[in-house]
Amino acid sequence: EIVLTQSPGTLSLSPGERVTLSCRASQSVSSNLAWYQQKPGQAPRLLIYGASTRATGIPARFSGSGAGTEFTLTISSLQSEDFAVYYCQQYNMWPRAFGQGTQVEIK
């Protein structure tokens, strides 16, 4: 079973800052990794799949990179609407797994 570990657990940042979130897999998932954003009281929203492909309608300030076991989600300039919890998810093997999430909060 693949375990995804996200770091850090919480980030306190100001609007306009660059954000880098990490997701590490316990074994290789190739490029079969997705990122989701979840705001309070809302369902998650797909941001990135295939480690680096933005989903439909996702702003260009969101980018993903990595392969194998190390992945990164970057927000180039944090906007007020980006304060949320971010989850990674691997779809290379069963059972599917989500990371525990990284909360991005306003400093």
Which positions touch another protein (CB under 8 A)?
32, 34, 36, 38, 42-46, 49-50, 55, 87, 89, 91, 94-101
Separation in Å, CA 39 to CA 25, 44, 87:
24, 7, 11
Torsion angles phi and psi, residue 82, rounded to 5: -90, -5
Min dist CB 45 to another protein, Å, is: 7
Residues 69 and 90: their CA atoms lie apart, in Å, by: 10
In the numeric block, the tokens 């009281």 are attached to 41
Min dist CB 76 to another protein, Å, is: 23
In the bound state with another protein, the residue whose beta carbon lies nearer, of 15 and 96, is 96
Strands 70-75, 62-67: pairing is: antiparallel
In the bound state with another protein, the residue whose beta carbon lies nearer, of 15 and 99, is 99
In the bound state with another protein, the residue whose beta carbon lies nearer, of 38 and 74, is 38
